[in-house]
Amino acid sequence: MKFTKYRIFNKQRMILIGLSLLGMFFFWIFDSGFFEATIGFDKNAIDMTPERAPEVQKRLLSQILTFDRYMDTMGYATTIMLVLLFSTVVLFYKEKNGLFAFRYVRGESQRKVILSTIFSHALINAVLYYLIYIIYTSVGYLFIGNTMSYVPRNIFDGIFGEGFSKRLPYLYYLVQGLPSFFIGTFVYTVTVCAVALFFRKAYQAIICMMSYYWGLQIVLEFLRCTFMGPNLAWIVGTFEPIHLYGFYGYVYHNPSAGTVLQTMSSLIVPIIVSIVLLVITFRKEEKLYE
């Protein structure tokens, strides 16, 4: 129990989680145009007059301060969050280079030690990252309110009924965060830990994961835009890593539970990679004892 608390409330993890939450707000402030429309608003611009300035500023803010625009987290999730999420592998390295040997001496099998550690870190990350997503969503809904622009978001209509995002926007966005901020975080944590088993330094695993993520994204995007027709391009597009964080931007024809599962197609590759790496690790250990 004490060890679990240590894993959860570890100072490094809390710093990374805190930076992730702050990163969400700062990313929105600068990416949405909020900064330019407030602090950075130039009332003395050439095409601006003292009479027009307040009206123009008010119009800009009315376009920016909508709940759906506030909840557009794809840019943050594929940059700041990704780096900080992969950086939590540092905590896995601490156990790998210290506590693993101690647990082996106590008679625990290598497979049990590695799998229990990886899944513990993955679950902790998944819960904490979804928690900061809930905090971010709640703050936005509290201050911005139900100010949705007319953009159809029907991905979950097959489960919760037509017009779900319009009827219950707050609940809609909480559900929307599950595939990316909970399930996606769990899977990518498992993968980065599995990759870490093959590197001596944490930064090497982080660079490897970032290279995989954006390398696969660039390759698949190039192939689908250059060589594929619309139907095949759409299917391949669901396997792009970025799709997990941007699936809400599409309008789906007859959405169903299967449509929701399709949003997580991009996790198939990292799941396969994780399994292969873990199998290789366990077989290496078995050969050592033969």
For residue range 158-203, list pLDDT tens digits in order. 899 888 888 888 999 999 999 999 999 999 999 999 999 999 899 9
Which amino acid would we find at residue 71? Answer: M
Q: Residue 69 pLDDT more than 80?
A: yes
Burial 39-55 (b: 16+ CB within 10 A, else e): eebeeeeeeeeeeeeee
Which residues neighbour 24 within 8 Å (Cβ) at sequence distance 6 or greater? 73, 76, 80, 81, 132, 133, 136
Predicted pLDDT of residue 274: 96
Query: 80-115: per-residue pLDDT in tens?
Result: 999 999 999 999 988 888 777 667 667 778 888 889
pLDDT band at residue 269 using 50, 70 and 90 as cut-offs: very high
Q: What are phi and psi of 163, to 5 degrees?
A: 75, 25
Separation between Cα atoms, residue 71 and residue 248, nearest integer Å: 10
Choose among 161, 179, 145: nearest CA to 70. 145
Residue 1 has a pLDDT of 59
Phi, then psi, of 84 in degrees rounded to 5: -70, -35
pLDDT tens by residue, 202-259: 999 999 999 999 999 999 999 998 888 888 988 888 899 999 998 877 778 888 888 8
Every domain of the chain and the residues it spans: 2-288
Rg (CA), the chain: 22
pLDDT cut 70: percent of the chain above it: 92
Arithmetic mean of pLDDT, 133-162 = 87
Q: For 17-23, which contacts have Cβ atoms below 8 Å and span 24 or more sequence positions?
A: 17/128, 17/129, 17/132, 19/84, 20/80, 20/81, 20/84, 20/85, 20/129, 20/132, 21/132, 21/135, 21/136, 23/76, 23/80, 23/81, 23/84
Specify the pLDDT at position 205: 95
CA atoms within 13 A on the CB side of 135: 14
